[in-house]
A and B are shown apart, each in its own frame.
Chain A
Amino acid sequence: MNEGPQERFKELLEKAEFYILNQKYSEAVKILKQATATNEESPHAHYLYGLALEGSNEQEKAKQHFRRVLELDPEHAEAKTHLDRLIGQ
């Protein structure tokens, strides 16, 4: 059965959320790398990527993804909170 790219993307995000919620941040990072390569313009995918990187103590890379979320969706409250905290405010 052939999956459409949309379904595949959705599946990747669900998988990434599963790993994040089980504190397997580096596993989530691998999945989100694929997800954002499939769809670079999804704020949610970049938000999850930022979270997974922050969880893996990769603060600098996490910031880049939270910034990307805010470029795509300037009202994204969670990304703003995380970015502010990482920048130090």
Chain B
Amino acid sequence: MPKIFAVIGLGTFGSAVALELARRGYEVFACDRDPDKIEELGSELANAVELDATDEKSLRDAGLDEVDTALVSFGDSIADSLLVTMLLKGLGVGEVVVKVADERHARLVKRIGADRVIFPERDMAIRLVENILSPDIFDFIELSEEYSLVEIAARKKMLGRKLADLHLRKRFGVNVIAIRSKVPVVNKKGVPDIKEKINIAPGAEDEIREGDTLVILGRDQDIERVKKL
């Protein structure tokens, strides 16, 4: 069954996420307590409603307990963000992603059970610096309307095989430009741990191992075919 999403707080970030999910064909429940925002987005989002998300009953009545992943995106109130995160976890929402404003906010929401914390302004700033200093690798970069660079987890059927034997270029027209591996190590205390290693421009003889992530460059439609492997 396709995932059901909720976006709570329809500021610039929240509404962009809701619209993008809807554009990709997902069911999105979007809410905000400001009726003007609902009116603004109502024509583009089928399920946009005016709602006070800090009220547990309203959340339950609106069917938020059916949601798989919820984004809590409040710009101004840390208190509301904490309360809504707690209520959503209480309702049994599988994954609660919270947009935070600063480190303190991040620490607090993590403590009350947020599954993922995002810090878009800080993250974008870091990405920008990395990008300015050296061309780096991201989860997803749209290079043009047709081409993208994506990171995908190695598929089960790739494991233990050499890159050359996968024939990704021949079969799908995509290039693997890097492999990120999770390499086991023993730390100073003698405890097993995992470190990440990046192999830029991997060779034909390099073997795909468990936990590897492939950084692939190609046309969007070809990348989609690789993802389905």
Contacts and interface: CB of A to CB of B under 8 A. Distances in A.
Interface of A: 17, 20-26, 47-48, 51, 54-57, 60, 63, 78, 82, 84, 87-89
A26 B106 contact: no
Contacts of B154: 57
Nearest to B94: A60
A19 to B, nearest CB: 9
Contacts of B209: 23
A72 to B, nearest CB: 15
A7 to B, nearest CB: 20
A88 B117 contact: yes
Contact of B210 (A25, A51, A78, A89): A25
Interface range on chain B: under 10, 10 to 19, 20 to 34, or 35 or more?
20 to 34
Contacts of B153: 57
A23 B95 CA distance: 28
Interface stretch (B74-82, B168-176, B179-187): B179-187
B194 interface: yes
Interface string B180-211: 00111011000111100000000000000111
B50 interface: no
A23 B192 contact: no
